[in-house]
Amino acid sequence: MKRLAPLLLLAAAPALAQNAGELRELIGSIGGRTALVSLYVTPRADGSARLSGEYLILPTLQQRFLEGERSRQLGVTFLKEGNSPILYGRPGNASLQGTWSDGVLKGTRYGPGGQERERFEFGEKFPAMDGYSAQVRCESAADRYSATLAYVVEHGKLKSMEWRSRVAPAGHSCAVSGFAQQPYSGGLQFAAGRCKVTLRDLGDFVRVTAEDCAEHCGSQAYLEPVLVDRSGDCELLRPRPR
């Protein structure tokens, strides 16, 4: 996928792309609102790690950027939160403070003055989709981009899938079909050559993302992440202004 990392893919911010490290995704809630977290983890020599990325509140798609660190001992984690992907040297709007260990990130979100605002808890384990069944055919468009996604899944098994997109005004396009199901934990994954499409359960939505699909696309074309709701309608996974 050319434009976005597998998050936020989201909707991932430029801050994600500029940092080396392993991308880790977590699903959970903050203040009772479902949210998706994407963090790049860059290890340091002393065993601690630098963290940078974002979280996305669903279904409002409000995006907040994060930067901070996790200690080696007990996974103590501090993340500064802001509206810009460039947080270094700038005051944050809030902070997330807690621990990240055994695949669980949890703690408290504080305001800029240190006042406690809300609790959060996220896990790296996404729901299994072995029982997922859906027949989806939907269109999505924004700015110069438009796409059609169609798939049939029965009890976690792929029956058919086709994904097409087009970027105006040049008219470059993508067209991918002939997918085969791959073993995958915490969702469903299908492959057509090197191109991989992944479905993950985000609660009210199923997120559909693509990666390594350049061989099926024109030079300026891409497949943008999509949210599929329970009625089968699609929405591009794009952050919205706060």
Cβ 11 vs Cβ 18: under 8 Å = no
Q: What's the confidence (pLDDT) of residue 84? A: 77
- Residue 54: how many CB atoms within 10 A of its CB? 25
β pairing state of 62-70 and 205-211? unpaired
Domain boundaries, the chain: 14-123, 134-236
Rg of the chain in Å (alpha carbons): 18
Give me the sign of the Cα torsion angle 212, 213, 218, 220: negative
pLDDT at 11 over 70: no
pLDDT at 6 over 50: no
What CA–CA distance (Å, rounded) separates 8 from 153?
23
pLDDT at 191 over 80: yes
Q: What is the DSSP letter of 187?
A: S
Cβ 147 vs Cβ 136: under 8 Å = no
Asked if the 14-123 domain carries CATH number 2.40.128.120, the reply is yes
Cβ 205 vs Cβ 227: under 8 Å = yes
84-101 mean pLDDT: 84
pLDDT at 177 over 50: yes
Q: DSSP labels for 39-79? A: EEEEE-TTS-EEEEEEEEETTTTEEEEEEEEE-SSTTEEEE
pLDDT in tens, 20-60: 589 999 999 999 999 999 999 999 999 999 999 999 998 78
Pick from 68, 64, 98, 62: which is nearest to 80 by CA? 68
What CA–CA distance (Å, rounded) separates 53 from 26?
12
The percentage of the chain sitting over the pLDDT mark of 70, rounded to a whole number, equals 88
pLDDT at 91 over 90: no
pTM of the model: 0.81
- Residue 106: how many CB atoms within 10 A of its CB? 16
Question: Which residue bears the tokens 């934990």?
Answer: 185
**Cis, bond preceding 225 (omega within 30 deg of 0):** no
